[in-house]
Each structure stands twice: as C-alpha cells, then as structure tokens.
Amino acid sequence: MKDELKNGLVKMVLRRKLIFLISILFSLMIATVMVIIKKPVYKISFTINASLLGEENIHKSNKLVIINLIKNFNILVDEKNIQTIINANNREIFKNFKSIDINNTTIGNGDPYMYIDLALFIYDTTNLKGIVNIFLQYINETPFFKGQFEREKKNILDIKEKLICSIDEMGKKSKLINDLERSDNLNYNIQYDIYHLQEKLLKLNSRLSQLDGVKLATDAITPNQPIGLSIIQTYILFIFVGAVLGIIIIFCIEKNIFNLIYVANGN
C-alpha cells in the first residue's frame, strides 16, 4: 500500500514537474531576498555587577530598576532619541544596535554583590565595547544608582572613621600599659582586638574602592558567527518548503481534474 502511494505521488510530480520546479524556484527567490535583506544578528553575553548589599530586598529593587532602564534604553535607541543618553560624537556607534535583554540573575557566594547576565544583540561587532561602555554609563548616571552609591560610600566612610578612632585609642592604651609595665595578657588582648579592627578596616577600604558604579563583572566576548540560520540552512529550508508546496499544488490540481472527469462521465 505504501509503495503504491509513493509511486502514485512520484507519477503525479513527474506529470506536473514544471509546477513542481516553479514552486521550488519561487521559494529560492524568496530565500534570496531574505538573505539579502536580513541583517546578521550577533548575540554577545556579558555580566554586570549590579548591587551594593547582599540583602534580598535591595537585590530585588536593583533588578527591577535595571529591567526598566534596559527597556527605556532600547526604546530610546529604537526611536533614534539617543541624544538623551549619548553625545553627538558617539551617535554613530548605535547604528548597528538592536537590543539588550536580561539572561539571568545570580547572587555571588560569599560576597555582597548581585550579578546580572545580559545579552546584547547587534548587527555589527565593530563598536561592541563602545556600546557596552555607554550602556553602563547610562545606568550609572541615573539618580537611583547615583544616590545609592553615594549613600553607601557615606556609610562606609562613617564606619571607617569610627574604626580608625577605635584603633588609635587601643594603640594608646597598649602604649600606656607598656610604659607602666602592666600585664602582658592585657596588652595581648588589646593587640588582638587592634588586629581584628585593622582587618575590618582593610575590608572597608576594599569595598570603598569598588563603589564606582555598576560595572562589568565579565567582559563581552565577540562571537564567531551570528545567531539564527546560516545562508546554506536558509536555502535548504526554503527548498524543502517549495517542494512540499509544489506537491500540495499538484495534488490539488490532480484531484480537481479527477473530479471533472468523474462528473463528465455522468457519475
């Protein structure tokens, strides 16, 4: 039964091979137009460091703000209203920009930062670094993040000042104990406390040096090839579609002819 159907289909296609070939050629024409018109799109993944504290509520608020900023950034570029985010000298960079989306959000183990994985879609990778830098600049210049970083800096500087005062006072006590030749155990405890306070001070200094805005956690790497179907894959797909379309058209024609013959015979 299967062989009979296959042979019948082959005979139909051979009888109407011109229609079959025209269908495939038409599909190839559409594929050629699509290849010419469609720009290749490159997907570039990179990660930004997007929060100041490890508290869950701050992570959520920062993520929501960045999501809205990304939407606004895409709209501004799409509407060619880029003078609001970049200066006239850098406007050429965004000619090949498509969009930015969020891939994933993770919280680092043992550190107070939230990392957001972003996907940048562009038509040309020539100005990749320029686009990423301007995007980060756009985020960092918003009042929300500016205020957040300034508040965190102020808090750290206040804590740092208190720690320095405590270390100085303990140092004076340690010197006084040495001068009076008091208990070595007492002096040891003071030195131990000074050591821990100095450790905290080093961590605060490290934290303070990192408070220069939302920044890259991993560099944007240029991909080797664009996303989506390649030119060869596009042609193969359209040849298949054209062949299927041709068979459907031939089947419909053959069926109509059979019906006309059936009616003409008075059945």
- The answer, yes or no, to whether residue 81 has pLDDT greater than 60, is no
- Map residue 262 onto helix, strand or coil: helix
User: Cα–Cα distance between 239 and 24 in angstroms, integer?
Assistant: 6
Summarised one tens digit per residue, pLDDT across range 5-35 is 566 666 676 777 788 888 889 998 988 888 8
Structure tokens at 197: 């306070």
3-state secondary structure 61-117: HHHHHHHHHHHHHHHHHHCCCHHHCCCHHHHHHHHHEEEEEEEEEEECCCCCCEEEE
DSSP string, 199-211: HHHHHHHHHHHT-
pTM of the model: 0.63
Break the chain into its structural domains and give their ranges: 2-38+230-264, 42-218
> CA-based angle 126:34:236, to the nearest 5?
105
Q: Which of these ranges, 78-82, 114-118, 205-209, 258-262, has the smallest mean pLDDT?
A: 258-262
Asked if 112 contacts 29 with a C-beta cutoff of 8 angstroms, the reply is no
pLDDT at 153: 82
Measuring CA to CA, how many Å separate 50 from each of 2, 66, 219? 62, 8, 15
